[in-house]
Structure 1
């Protein structure tokens, strides 16, 4: 499935984000290499060459472009911020003030901007939500309100009640009737992903830059009649362990429980997707035949596109009847990387 030079050149001219991570373009006349979406002026096709990794252009003497910074992953969580998230997960009662961030070598304004961009709220708002989510679970497990408030660092019961009601819309005393879906950012070799889980299993696992993600989150919230809150979930631990093994080539099947949200037809299609053996592919037509309705190719393709649990429900293993890669919500380049990973291990 090697891309032609013409296709890669045209993708660079169009600054097509679907090819991010698929190839890098090096310019012979300037001695630099770029990502496909670089905004620098594009050279003539005879003056460029393409690479499927960043190591080879460096070995040939090319320098990384200062504009598009091809060696950096724009969506990856910075190590220092990941440490903040890890510390909060370990102890939700921790309260980081601006002074504490500075002590860690972080600029509070930069932390604020990062959380606004990736979580839609400031870091301090994120901390409050994380604490309240932890308290919610304690109340669900039968802990009394005072102990739950003290456990997460609240000294004032009135302050705890007010914060709780602002997030869940009800008082702590009424929270037994409420439901919550946990949400967590997870870093993978092909980009940041968002995981959601209820008590039954993973109900969403999507790339953070997918345009449909906000709509999918609303659908899940409505389906379960639940609030989606940043928080830990036992299924996340299993998911992260199995993902690490998968990307290291040590796992071919996932055992983490799933809790998919969709129509009965969509769930049937997704179950068939899960029967595609690791390292192989099927066409939409073959999927329709297995479903028992050969004419339902378009409906099957649509159901594939509405899959909210990427990788675990392997819609990346479905290709066109002509053998070409077709649309993928996470971007064609990710589909290609996943197939390369699986096939490289088999052969």
Structure 2
């Protein structure tokens, strides 16, 4: 059975069936959040965090970290909202492979199933993966379009002759200086073609010499973990990209097939971020993927600004995250510029 493969046939996107909406989440009481207390960073903790940071850098001196005088500790607790949407998308595309005379699963064996009706094993949730499958009953055999069914084609290096002009004497058979027979080609003026090893033709790379190709529809399934993050505003001068990756304490976690926006959280920005993140993921994925699972979390990320005095000057550094990571603005004992400040 033969058929022409148009551009539309070669690559098609199949939209997933729409999921029925579930019930909205119950209203939650956030009064416990107002009573939550962030562990206080003392001067001793602040000094130990800086010493640990300095000792991890090859070009930072530890004298300043040991002798500095802490003038002020300004502490603030941030909230980080994260929404993860684990989705599955499916596309179909025509592809081919060398035909090796095995049985052909073509339309004569039945109608190909719809792409979303094909059962596959789903990877663990929130772990990205891409897999390819051959769609049942979609195969057909055609002559190789590259070699026109011959399995081999003329070598482009020697144009089928098997030999090429000698690069040493340029085909003259003799060397001008000194006047003698060319040793490289033994006076023939020709050398064996290195591209085809002197055969004059090469095995077709498309059909691997099989002369025919098996065309079939390939299902490509991509599982992706879509991420939306938001960090609440703060008044301290610590880079946002560090706070986005900082380790925090989980205050709230909600996981389901579909989660619903958080409402009435004490920090209004977090509630708005939840509404915005869920709306963005729904709009972006509705027409091209199926949502398998969602997870939203709120984490408390502590941040402390430490102002200290050393040798007549005032400096500042920041301690962030529950594991007391350090960000240094301008350390007084830095001997080279080869280290990255984190």
TM-score grouping bracket, smaller chain normalisation: under 0.3
Higher fraction of helix: 1
TM-score of the superposed pair, with normalisation by structure 1: 0.19
TM-score of the superposed pair, with normalisation by structure 2: 0.19
Q: Name which one, 1 or 2, has greater alpha-carbon Rg.
A: 2
